[in-house]
Chains A and B, each alone.
Chain A
Amino acid sequence: MAVAAVHAGGIADHIHPEPQGFVRRYVFSLDHKIIGVQYLITAFVFFMLAGLLAEAIRTQLLNPNGGFVAADTYNEIYSIHGSTMVWLVIIPMLTGGFGNLIFPVQIGARDVAFPWLNMLSFWIFPVSGLMLFSSFLLGAPTAGWMEYPPVSLQGAAGTSMWAAAIFLVGVSSTMTGLNFLVTILKMRAPGMTFTRMPLFVWGQFATAPLLMIATTALAAALAALFINRVFGVPFFDPAKGGSPVMWQHMFWFYSHPAVYIMIIPAFGIISEVLPTFARKPIFGYKLIAFSSAAIALLGFMVWAHHMFTSGLAPFLQLPFMILTYVIGVPTGIKIFSWTATLFRGKIHYTTAMLFAIGFVGLFTIGGITGIFLAAIPFDLHVHGTYFIVAHLHYVLVGGSLMGVFAGMYYWFPKMSGRMLNETLGKWHFWLFFIGFNLTFLPMHWLGMEGMPREVATYDPQFAFWNRFASFSSYLMTFAILIFFVNVIWSIRNGRRAGANPWGARTLEWQVPSPPHYYNFKHIPTVYGLPYDFSQPLPYKGLDEELTDSPPHVAAGAH
């Protein structure tokens, strides 16, 4: 409170006028909310493209002999599908997208610490995306999103383009990480201590250092691959004394933390949605917050569990196995806490809530199979098979993407001022949930029985479940079409949201939808955690009392 008293006055004045031209307002905007929306729109465009590539993959695999596209084209398709979904969809949506859009308002800041850097981060992102897709013109990379040398050294010219594009999008990520970290450290409203921060902010706070530190290792690896391919310096070429396994170390030193970059912000989204619609405080706030930090830290110590078959010294593998098991503990704590949050709640089944509960159910499957894969003897069996494909999609689709959808239904009113249609939303959820499980569950036993990943044709004994998965994947795609229809329809025709349609308690819901330019004329003071529904809101000094909207959610949603 003493802190609050010192800061409460005197910082209301320094606000630049809102830019008026269309270009400065919506194109080269410095406003974190506009940049967040730009990120989301761009990432959803890439999501559509990569989704089409996914359907091309499933269509090829309808038959054991393929026949939809040639093997070389197929290899290009899944490589770009994976690269796009990781670097141009999930990471930008969860960090640049929802991160930009929401967390500065949640901590009571007027913008991020470095708005110009933020604008630069964003504009690098579509450029690198265009570069990535233009690699199709040169012959796209074919060795998957991991591009292990030496086979990636043999790849067509587009592989160098790929390396350059991913390098660039990595630069963008690094800058975003720096920006968010400084913002959270230095720009919290008076009274917003670390243990009062909303859990979505904690998610971004745990992710930002990962973005900064891990991405630089990827940048080094990509630069070396590019130099090897273009200038012939044989970093990874064993015929000239290079080490191909070195690439794997550098790649996974980034890409394992990247897994957490792709899931910890989604944890944060879920931790906001669950208490709001259960009308209950999140269970075990502190443990959820600290376990995010623990996961982020441990995430740097387990990269070689992706390399148990790569010829590492056997005794070096053991610590990686055990440390990976250890990550199961903080992750389990989160899952238990989310489940306990529902206990004795008053649960409102909005679409956002359905996605959040679905997230817990599906991510847990991905988490448990992750422990399976950490066990070296079992990994030596299923590494490089469809079991891995199943596991990673349970984490990245059942986890991250369900989190993205929960966030979209939850925060769409805040970004647009209108509600998404709940009926379409429920169709979206149920068809997606069923289609997803039917697509990816069979891949577990396909992999265990002997189907390798990254193949354009396969043994006829696997035909039935592949066809089953392919048809189910069309259901998923149909569900996503419903989502896009919903968004496009609701932007113009959705019900007006008002400031706080969900009756939520974090700061972003205490300002109008969308928030004013610069969010707060006066920075409010924070007096407690946002999650106790029995208490008055823990904020003082809000610009206006928002009495315009009774919560929509209470009216008949059940």
Chain B
Amino acid sequence: MVDNTVQPVRLGRGFWTVTAILAILAVAAMVFWYEFPLEKYLPAAIVTARQVDTLFRFMAATGSALYIFIAGYLIYFSIAFRAKATDPPDAIGAQIHDNHKLEFWWTLIPTLFVVLLSIVSVRIWYEIMLEPENGVVVEAIGHQFYFSFRYPQINGEVTDEMHLPRGVPVTLNLTAADVIHGFWVPAMRLKNDTVPGLVTTIRFTPRLDGRYPIICTQFCGVLHSEMDKQVLVIEEKPAFDKWYKSWQQKNAHASNALPAAGGQAISLQGGNASAGQQLFAQKCSACHKLAPFDQTLVGPGLKSVLHDPAHPNLVNGQPATPENVAAILQNGYTGSMGTMPNASANGLTAQDIGNLVAFLASLK
């Protein structure tokens, strides 16, 4: 016969023993996550990497503790309350429908935990977002299938390694020349997509010397898997300065001759304006409208860039002459609005620059 009466819920000694064991395991798991040497497996190359680890430890510790209780009770109930061979075939369990007190608490406690977790993660998020704005400015441009790096203070040159001085804040501007790539340095615990037509910025401060792989995390085409070969070098300030100076010299040498992409000289005579118009549609129109100077998309409107009495100067403060427009096209520019890649990153030849200048000059 089926026993219809529901006995009051009693929690026996077995339950409390299991609860005590689970509590010990949960504490052990929390200690484990706070003691685990994360940096042995992945160095913390920047200051905020350690904050990310802190957040991870917090979530892993509380998550493991929670999981140990859930899985522990699941296993304990499964064993303790299995139907036994001696049970009559129509035996039923205790017909407990709910328990409002219990449900109240297991709604309230997770809710409070959500509040706590929100506070912890917003605080760490702030520390990542509020890294200082001054310091070294670097641009990373995603290409199929490599990143190129520019230092706007070094005119024009594009490197295939990224060097950073230890202890100096860095502003990294990211964009892409073709498709979306993901710029990730695992040792930094930080990534951001490089999106064509969009400049995004991340800021951080290097704290540990080393060579760290840079990995693309956004599928970008057939050779995406190969896009993990470049490195970020963090080094002492003097070593960085030396490296930086060697590029500056190499470059100063080059730019004296106003040379250009692919080694050809830019000719501003005889540029083909209609070829320039086509190029403008392909290469420039993502960021520049053919509109008055103040109508910015990402960069300023260029309808009358060479003939605008209200704006006699270009964004870099130089007078609006064909030569200075060519220099921006050649070297790129980083201003308050964002970063314009240089000719090499944009894939512009000397002839292209001449054509573009001719096109811009033809606009009235």
Contact = CB atoms under 8 A, between A and B. Distances in A.
Contacts of B286: 238-241
> Which residue among B78, B84, B93, B178 has the maximum number of chain A CB atoms within 10 Å of its CB?
B93
B124 interface: yes
Interface stretch (A50-58, A86-94, A361-369, A519-527): A361-369
Contacts, number: 282
A162 to B, nearest CB: 14
A311 B195 contact: yes
Interface string B41-56: 1100000100110011
B216 interface: yes
Interface stretch (A215-223, A418-426, A448-456, A489-497): A448-456
Contacts of B228: 452, 455, 458-459
A21 interface: no
Interface size class, chain B: 35 or more
A240 B281 contact: yes
Interface string B74-86: 1001100111110
B285 A241 contact: yes
A283 B96 contact: yes
Interface stretch (B22-30, B62-70, B316-324): B62-70
Interface residues of A, number: 97
A280 B94 contact: yes
B195 A244 contact: yes
Interface stretch (A27-35, A263-271, A330-338, A509-517): A330-338
A335 B222 CA distance: 42
A72 B93 CA distance: 56
Given A329-B114, A377-B124, A558-B83, A346 B52 contact: no
A340 B81 CA distance: 12
Contacts of A310: 193, 195
B59 interface: yes
Interface stretch (B104-112, B241-249, B351-359): B104-112
A454 B197 contact: no
Interface string A339-354: 1101111111100000
A47 B219 CA distance: 25
B18 to A, nearest CB: 12
A253 interface: no
Interface in B91-127: 91-99, 102-103, 106-107, 110-111, 114, 117-118, 121-122, 124-125
B95 A533 contact: yes
Contact of B78 (A144, A149, A285, A357): A357
B225 A380 contact: no
Contact of A311 (B84, B125, B186, B192): B192
Main secondary structure of the interface of B (DSSP, over half): mixed
B138 interface: no
Nearest to B192: A309
B205 to A, nearest CB: 15
B215 A329 contact: no
A376 interface: yes
B111 A372 contact: no
Nearest to A146: B219
A534 B173 CA distance: 67
Interface of B: 2-4, 6, 9, 41-42, 48, 51-52, 55-56, 59-60, 63, 66-67, 70-71, 73-74, 77-78, 81-85, 87, 89-99, 102-103, 106-107, 110-111, 114, 117-118, 121-122, 124-125, 128-129, 178-180, 182, 184, 186, 189-193, 195-198, 200, 213, 215-226, 228, 281-283, 285-286
Given A325-B114, A377-B48, A380-B192, 8 more contacts: A143-B219, A148-B218, A238-B198, A329-B111, A342-B81, A452-B184, A454-B224, A455-B228
5 contacts: A71-B225, A342-B74, A347-B81, A375-B121, A377-B124
